[in-house]
Amino acid sequence: MPAFSERRLFVIIAIDGPSGAGKGTVARTVARALQFRHIDTGAMYRAVAWLAHERGIAYDDEPALVALAREVAFDLEDGRVRIAGHDVSSAIRTSGMDLASSTVAKLPELRAVLVARQQQMGEGGRVVMEGRDIGSVVFPDADVKIFLDASPEERAKRRAADPAHTGSAIDLVAVAREIRARDARDSTRAASPLRTAPDAVVIDTTGRSIDDVVQQVLGLAAQVSPTAIRPE
Ligand code: DC
């Protein structure tokens, strides 16, 4: 067990929650403020689904998806998403990929491969990792665990207004329906369903500004690690 002061240098901030709760913007802004890396694990599930489609692999062909996820190169730097050399930053943000990613995310062996890769990516610390199971499965010992939530109406509004999310329904009722269906799939699947880790701080972002939420997360991070939290 490293000494307290050394361990503090390996800070991991886990941000979980359903889609549209503000995870992406909050995680990115917190990471920038601290000069930490930002890792969007949802983008990894989306990128695997995209590449499977590209290669003609069915979304339920677990052995083929596992082989693909083991070998393929992910590059999640600078807010871009690349897989096997393809820049898929916008291609993965469509309603087709919403559905495909939540379908492949049900597969336990594929999850095990991606979780191991996420643990490897985060092992150096100074990382803000966002997803559904970061505080519960990927880094259960994360220094800061946040669970972001928001009302279904607010989440649907944000998703409909998200310029990065192309090809999705702009009709709020349809977006709300899609979000509810995806929540249900993410929360009821057998493998690592979306759950709040018992020691996570739950933050409801409904009606709150990003800056306000970011300040709260930075405050929590500073409490656990006043030294390592300073930008390098
Ligand atoms: O956060 P997102 O909407 O980009 O995630 C895409 C899908 O991947 C979504 O259905 C939830 C799933 N996911 C997951 O199961 N575990 C994670 N750590 C991240 C995302």
Name the residue with the closest Cα to ligand 1, atom 16. 132
> If pLDDT is split at 50, 70 and 90, which confidence band does 228 have?
low
Q: Which of 132, 137, 168, 192 to mutate to test the pocket of ligand 1 (most atoms within 8 A of CB)?
A: 132
CA of 224 from ligand 1 middle (Å) equals: 27
Strands 86-87 and 82-83: antiparallel
User: Which atom number of ligand 1 is nearest to the Cα of residue 23?
Assistant: 1
CA of 1 from ligand 1 middle (Å) equals: 32
pLDDT for 167: 53
């990382």: which residue's tokens? Answer: 127
Angle between helices 41-54 and 108-122 (to 10 degrees): 130
Angle between helices 41-54 and 95-104 (to 10 degrees): 100
pLDDT for 46: 97
Residue ranges around ligand 1 (CB below 6 Å): 19, 41-42, 45-46, 101-102, 105, 131-133, 182, 186
The closest alpha carbon to 93, from 138, 146, 40, belongs to 40
Name the residue with the closest Cα to ligand 1, atom 6. 42
Domains of the chain: 11-214 (3.40.50.300)
H helix runs in 35-93, sequence order: 41-54, 62-71
Number of neighbours of residue 108 by Cβ within 10 angstroms: 12
167-183 average pLDDT score: 75
> If pLDDT is split at 50, 70 and 90, which confidence band does 214 have?
very high
CA of 93 from ligand 1 middle (Å) equals: 12
> What is the DSSP track for 153-207?
HHHHHHHHH-TTSTTS--SHHHHHHHHHHHHHHHHH-SSS-S---TTPEEEE-TT
Prediction pTM value: 0.89
pLDDT (tens digit, 9 = 90+) per residue, 19-53? 888 999 999 999 999 999 999 999 999 999 999 99
Q: Angle at the Cα of 158 (from 157 to 163), degrees rounded to 5? A: 115
Return the percentage of the chain with pLDDT > 90, whole number. 65
Q: Are 30 and 39 in contact (CB under 8 A)?
A: no
The closest alpha carbon to 147, from 192, 186, 204, 102, belongs to 204
